[in-house]
Amino acid sequence: MQQMKSKRPEIDTTIEKRIESIWNQKVKEVEEQGRTLTSNPIFGVQSIEKTENKYILNIYETTYKYVIATRNFQIPGYYEYFLGVRGICFFEVNETKYIILGERKKEMTYMGGDFEPVPGGLLEPDDLKSDTPIKTALLRELQEEIPPTKEKDISQIKVVSLKKNKQYVSVDIRFLIELSKKWQENYKIHQKTDYVEIHPLKGKFPEHKKIIGVPINYLSEFILAYKDRLAHSKDVFLDLHSKTCL
């Protein structure tokens, strides 16, 4: 996979003003909740070219406020996709494999209360300073969402697909991530009825209310039981699961 930097597409002045209005409204809502929202630099995807043995992504630098505006779905004629990484982590206990999902905090600006595969997020400019920017972004998201996970805790990383995700308004490079038995030593794992809960030995998970592990052999039942809270992301791990990677 190769990234090529392009010039940012021009946006009509009227649309730009509407984007700014949506952004300011969202910032105000978040501030009223005692939190902050910043328009950090990220990358948009202008086009995807496929050759015989690789994909070429034409990307341009932009900022997070355009993500908020696109997810808002309120601007006729305006839509952008942003470059992201998304994976499914799994681990094994007593010959049972578990997929890791995070329950988003209800106060999150997008999809609060939903379950989602972790890690996942958008590429940042600092990621491109690395010789392996996609892997760097994936590891950064993994360390942010399931601390204190380190690269040494990973047994293998496998690229599964490149897919547009309309709900996340992203072009996701999707991965399967196997976590080692050594990784489990950093957490307490408690059995619940439908899944296991995973708790760090110190502190809390910063981006999710809780992190859970769903048994692979119970995945279909879990999707059916929690379908209303998986609306934005169930296709991600269904995509991985359908490829018989697990």
Residue-wise pLDDT tens digits, 13-34: 999 999 999 999 999 998 998 8
Does residue 156 have a pLDDT over 80?
Answer: yes
Q: Does domain 85-246 have CATH number 3.90.79.10?
A: yes
Burial of 173 (0-12, 13-18, 19+ CB in 10 A): buried
For residue 209, count other CB atoms closer than 10 A to its CB: 15
Lowest model confidence (mean pLDDT) among 92-96, 144-148, 190-194, 225-229? 225-229
pLDDT tens digits, one per residue of 48-89 = 998 888 888 999 999 999 999 998 777 888 989 999 999 889
The residues, any chain, with a CB within 8 Å of residue 138's CB and separated by 6 or more, are: 85, 87, 119, 157, 175, 177
For residue 81, count other CB atoms closer than 10 A to its CB: 20
The pTM of this model reads 0.88
Burial of 19 (0-12, 13-18, 19+ CB in 10 A): buried
Question: What is the per-residue pLDDT for 52?
Answer: 80
Query: What integer is the mean pLDDT of 37-42?
Result: 94
Question: What is the per-residue pLDDT for 53?
Answer: 81
- Range(s) of the chain covered by CATH 3.90.79.10: 85-246
Does residue 5 have a pLDDT over 70?
Answer: yes
Residue 49 pairs in a beta bridge with 56
Query: What integer is the mean pLDDT of 159-188?
Result: 91
76-80, 120-124, 224-228: range with highest mean pLDDT: 120-124
Does residue 245 have a pLDDT over 60?
Answer: no
